[in-house]
Amino acid sequence: MLARIFPDRFVPVLFVTILLASLLPVRGAAVPVAQAVSTAAVVFLFFLNGVRLPRDEVLHGILGWKLQGGALAFCFGAMALFGLAAQAATAPFVPAALALGFLFLGILPSTVQSAAASSSMAGGNVAASVVAAALLNLVGVGASPLLFAALAGNAGEIHSDGVLRIVAILLLPFLAGQVAQRWLRPWVLAHRPLVTILDRTTVAIAVYVAFSAAVVAGIWQLLDAREVGVICAAVAALLALSFGGAWTLGGLLGLRRPDRITLLFAGAQKSIAVGAPLASTLFPPAIAGMVLVPILVYHMAQLILSAWIAPALRGDEGVVLE
Q: What is the pLDDT of residues 29-50, one digit of tens each?
A: 888 888 888 778 778 877 887 7
Sort 143 into a burial class: Cβ within 10 Å, 0-12 / 13-18 / 19+.
Answer: middle
How many C-alpha atoms does 312 have within 13 Å on its Cβ side? 8
Q: Which domains does the chain have, with CATH numbers?
A: 7-309 (1.20.1530.20)
pLDDT at 88: 95
Amino acid at 120: S
CA 220 from centre of chain: 23
Tens digit of each residue's pLDDT, the chain (322 residues) = 444 545 556 667 778 888 898 888 888 888 888 888 877 877 887 788 778 766 665 555 556 678 889 999 999 999 999 999 999 999 999 988 899 999 999 999 887 667 777 787 788 876 677 777 777 877 887 788 888 888 876 555 554 455 566 566 666 787 788 888 888 888 888 887 887 787 778 778 877 887 787 788 677 777 788 888 999 999 999 999 999 999 999 999 999 898 999 999 989 999 877 787 788 778 887 788 888 889 888 987 887 788 788 878 876 443 334 4
Task: Report the alpha-carbon distance of residue 24 to residue 221 in Å, rounded.
Answer: 16
pLDDT at 19: 87
Task: Report the alpha-carbon distance of residue 91 to residue 97 in Å, rounded.
Answer: 9
In sequence order, the 6+-apart residues with CB closer than 8 A to the CB of 170 are 42, 46, 141, 277, 278, 281
Q: Say what angle helices 126-152 and 257-268 make with each other, to 10 degrees.
A: 40
